[in-house]
Amino acid sequence: MQNQQGQTHQNMHTGTVPPQMNHGGHEVFDVHEVLSGAIGTMDSYMLLRQHVKDPELLDILDRQYQFMQEEYNITVECFKSGQNPSKPTQSYKMNQGNDFIYGLTPSQPKKPVQSPAELTDACVSGMMLGSVKSGASMKTMAACEVTNPVVRRVLADSVPNCIEMAYELSIYQNKHHYYQVPQLAQQDMQQLLNAYAPAQGMPQMPNNNMNMNMNTTH
């Protein structure tokens, strides 16, 4: 115990720690939340899979699950070792285009299902979408607390993948009219699009030396 305390005391002064201990307290807690959330998302996908009827949605679910599992393993590996993982992080690529259908059409009000038999592809894709959007927020917040450079990079690289998965699911939902996208009136849209102008020229920064001189004279 004395040797361990002495080593810790020395590390506080030198700033050198073993790679596997190169983690801050907030980082450890936040990464635990990320990994628990990733397990929850994958478990949800596993449970939802049996209720999928559309082959296209089933393909999305399987591809996303496989990618999540690989990304989870990479995160666990570098979190434990504090060093680069054995495999590099990848970028998730969806298989469909990015065209949205805009406007609202009449539809039945949504309500909670009363039994698992009522789960539809709209319900399943909606729950999948909620899970990956939650993962994007959680990983972004965790990355801002991470001190280990490898873990920070892995989490930061994972955020765009969550966004891409969410985009893929929202396009799927929109295509099947599960998720409708309203638009503003053309006049309102045009006014808001032109509400900002680019900054031009070099800004005139305050003179800090002048401010300091003024403070010292009082």
- Number of domains the chain is built from: 1
Q: Let me know if residue 203 belongs to a domain.
A: no
Q: Let me know if residue 149 belongs to a domain.
A: yes
Cα dihedral 185, 186, 192, 198, rounded to 10, equals 170
pLDDT band at 20 (very low <50, low <70, confident <90, very high): low
Mean pLDDT of the 59-82 span: 95
Across the chain, mean pLDDT equals 87
Q: Let me know if residue 27 belongs to a domain.
A: yes
Residue 109 DSSP label: P
The first and second tokens of residue 164, run together, are 């891409």
**pLDDT tens for each residue of 177-211:** 999 999 999 999 999 999 999 988 888 888 776 65
Specify the pTM.
0.83
Domain range for 68: 18-103+119-186
- The pLDDT score that the predictor gives to residue 204 is 82
In the chain, what percentage of residues exceed pLDDT 90? 61
Q: Let me know if residue 1 belongs to a domain.
A: no
Query: Environment class of residue 44 by beta-carbon count within 10 Å: exposed (0-12), middle (13-18) or buried (19+)?
Result: middle
User: In whole angstroms, what is the distance from residue 78 CA to residue 39 CA?
Assistant: 17
Q: Is 195 left (phi over 0), alpha (psi -120 to 50) or beta?
A: alpha
Q: Which helix (H) or strand (E) holds 135?
A: helix 121-143
DSSP string, 189-214: HHHHHTS-----S------HHHHHHH
Q: What share of the chain is helix, strand, coil (3-state, %, to 5)?
A: 65, 0, 35
Q: Let me know if residue 200 belongs to a domain.
A: no
> Within 10 Å of residue 69's Cβ, how many Cβ atoms?
13
The answer on pLDDT for 12 being more than 70 is: no
CATH number (domain holding residue 62): 1.20.1260.10
Q: Let me know if residue 207 belongs to a domain.
A: no
Q: Are 91 and 24 in contact (CB under 8 A)?
A: no
Mean pLDDT of the 10-16 span: 51
Amino acid, res. 196: Y
